[in-house]
């Protein structure tokens, strides 16, 4: 059996780029392959070694994380033509409700907005409302431009898919005022002091600074949770998961269902209301 070489990994990187994978996806695949190579060391590259690695991953990480790592390895093995090294992912039963300690509620969202306003962080105040009122991804914020605010529609081009996102009237008013104050004529609305679009780490850091003032657990405060709140709120009113999938830019409705899961507390109340017990 051959050894994994730097040339193979470089070739795998080029292959992923040619496949138009996002930068984050490419980095994730390469990181997983590098972690396996470090673990492999002087061991022989064989199916038995990969299975042992899988076992050790299961002892250290959550099933979803294990499957993500194995998917990266399987993709690399396919690229190298080592199909016999592929291993099966773990079977994970789909959850029917989400953990309440990780779900951002509407009340907590309101407190975060109040905290941002009290700290005079207007950019963050408007940014959180933009994500939460449209359901866009953090990576799609760059498509919220001066031109999009003027026309009321953002043209999103992400992961090889295009879709239109409508901007609510009140959001357009707030963003329009902010744009005028910033004297911005074109391009992305939310930028750094140097004029570059904000990235996930900038936003994450700013949001975490609100936790203490807003009295919200840090576990709940991250940009993607705002997208989840939009999805749950939309679904609770419309009950249309197919339409929600289109709005969120999901290729599969199964992905959208993850966003619409209720908390265990709500699920418990629903079960208790069935009236099938006699005390």
Active site members: 137, 159, 224, 227, 250, 259
Tokens 């914020």 belong to which residue?
A: 141
CA angle 268, 131, 270 (to 5 degrees): 10
Parallel, antiparallel or unpaired: strands 153-158 and 262-263: unpaired
Burial (CB count within 10 angstroms: exposed 0-12, middle 13-18, buried 19+), residue 19? exposed
Q: 162 — phi, psi (to 5°)?
A: -115, 140
SS3 110: helix
DSSP string, 112-136: HHHHHHHTT-HHHHHHHHHHHHH--
- Helical ranges in 19-153 per DSSP H: 23-40, 47-60, 63-80, 106-118, 122-134, 146-151
Specify whether the backbone of 144 is left (phi greater than 0), alpha (psi in -120 to 50) or beta.
beta
What's CA 51's distance to the chain center, in Å?
29
CA neighbor of 256 nearest in space, from 270, 240, 273: 240
Q: 93 — phi, psi (to 5°)?
A: -70, 130
């Amino acid at each position: 059996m051959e050894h994994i070489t730097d040339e193979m990994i470089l070739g795998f990187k080029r292959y992923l780029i040619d496949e138009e994978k996002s930068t984050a996806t490419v980095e994730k695949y390469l990181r997983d392959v590098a972690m396996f190579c470090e673990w492999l060391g002087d061991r022989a590259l064989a199916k038995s070694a990969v299975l042992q690695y899988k076992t050790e991953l299961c002892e250290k990480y959550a099933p979803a994380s294990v499957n993500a790592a194995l998917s990266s390895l399987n993709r690399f093995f396919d690229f190298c033509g080592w199909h016999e090294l592929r291993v099966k992912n773990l079977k994970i039963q789909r959850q029917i409700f989400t953990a309440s300690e990780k779900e951002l509620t509407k009340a907590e969202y309101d407190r975060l907005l109040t905290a941002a306003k009290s700290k005079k962080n207007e950019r963050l105040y408007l940014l959180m409302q933009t994500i939460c009122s449209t359901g866009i991804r953090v990576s799609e914020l760059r498509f919220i431009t001066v031109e999009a605010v003027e026309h009321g529609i953002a043209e999103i081009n992400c992961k090889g898919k295009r879709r239109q996102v409508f901007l609510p009237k009140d959001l357009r008013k707030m963003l329009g005022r902010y744009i005028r104050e910033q004297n911005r004529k074109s391009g992305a609305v939310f930028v750094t002091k140097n004029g570059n679009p904000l990235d996930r780490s900038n936003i994450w850091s700013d949001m975490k600074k609100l936790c203490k003032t807003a009295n919200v657990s840090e576990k709940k405060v991250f940009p993607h949770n705002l997208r989840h709140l939009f999805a749950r709120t939309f679904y609770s009113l419309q009950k249309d998961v197919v339409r929600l999938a289109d709005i969120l830019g999901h290729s599969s409705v199964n992905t959208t269902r993850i966003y619409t899961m209720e908390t265990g507390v709500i699920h418990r109340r629903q079960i208790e209301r069935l009236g099938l017990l006699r005390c």
